[in-house]
Structure formats: C-alpha cells, structure tokens
C-alpha cells in the first residue's frame, strides 16, 4: 500500500494500473514503456500542464462537441487509466 503522503502517490497509482493492464493482457509492453517516457517528461516539466497543452485540450473538446458524428479513438494506456471516464463519454 502506497501512503497518500508519498510525493509521487498519484503517479505510482497510475503506474500500478498500467502494470495490471499489461498483466491482464489488454496493454502491450510498449504501452508500459510509453507510460514511463510520459512520466519522465512530466517530471522534467515540473508535473504541470503547460498553457499550450491546456489550449490543445480545449480545442479538442470544442471539436468533439461541434462534430456531427464524433468518434473517440483511445489507446491501451488510456483504457487502462480511464476506463470509467471513457464509458461515461
């Protein structure tokens, strides 16, 4: 059990979800590698979402909301980390 006071608590929980998805067979080993790269990048930019990334997210949401027939295509990592949210969408 990871203590909630651990400075990387959320990151370690996400890593555990990715690991379990791999063990259950719906995430490729390359997905685990990609997650590690993403964690490294997050660490390098100070664990903060940049303004450019926020604007890109807003543009993506606007595009989906305005589309006549919106389609979401998600990869294994997204499925492993946010399955409930994907289903809700």
How does pLDDT run across 72-81, given as a tens digit for each residue?
A: 898 888 888 8
Q: Is there a contact between 11 and 39 (Cβ–Cβ < 8 Å)?
A: yes
pLDDT at 83: 87
Phi-psi region of 46 (alpha: psi -120 to 50; beta: other; left: phi over 0): left
**Model pTM score:** 0.60
pLDDT at 42: 74
């Amino acid at each position: 059990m990871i203590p909630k006071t651990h400075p990387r608590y959320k990151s370690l929980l996400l890593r555990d979800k990715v690991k379990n998805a791999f063990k259950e067979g719906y995430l490729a080993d390359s997905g685990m590698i990609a997650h590690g790269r993403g964690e490294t990048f997050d660490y390098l930019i100070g664990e903060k979402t940049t303004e450019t990334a926020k604007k890109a997210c807003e543009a993506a949401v606007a595009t989906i909301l305005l589309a006549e027939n919106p389609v979401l295509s998600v990869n294994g990592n997204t499925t492993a980390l946010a399955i409930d949210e994907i289903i809700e969408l």
